[in-house]
Amino acid sequence: MTRTSRSTKALVLCLAAIGVLTAMDLGTKQWALERLSEPSSRASDPVCEPNEYGRTEAQRRQRQPVVLIDGLLEFRYAENCGAAFGFMRDMPSAVRKGVFYVAAAGAVVLLLWMFVTGRGGRLFAVSVPLIVAGAIGNFVDRVKLGYVVDFVRFHLDDRWAYPTFNVADAWITIGVALILIEGFMDGRREKRGAAKRAEAPAS
């Protein structure tokens, strides 16, 4: 199957979307820093490293959360030393940072290369700016702050709470979901095509 590289216009639109989506993520994180937190005198030094008591103290103190739906959805400040939804937060700092930086750079380069060279269909093309923007947004936080700012919290009163996340995490999740949906749809099309070929009379 011959692939056709995507047009310059498509690449420009992709890069513009990445810029807008990244700005949305960083803007909401800055709002969370200013509105949902305040400086703390107990901050860990170095950032995200345990103190002499084995505890990792937050760099900033939580303010009162902004409740959107009582008992269900609120904006509450949190600091994430791990990956999306807190994954790998307990790994050694040097290992964690190395994994994050390599993974983020690798994902951005690979996805943009696949986009430019015409890989994937329409859903993949939509997913690329979402995933790349999410990776860049969280990468900027790690370089600038040493951790990622999270603030979106779904919960059922005090009985259950989904891991606190941010807009970048949402972009990445949506992008990955689109890729999975496209893969599922492509698989079904291939099965239907194979079935038709099997049913066709031999010439």
Q: What is the CA radius of gyration of the chain?
A: 21
Mark whether 169 is an active-site residue: yes
Mark whether 25 is an active-site residue: no
Catalytic residue among 150, 157, 158, 186: 150
Catalytic residue among 25, 45, 157, 169: 169
Active site residues: 150, 169
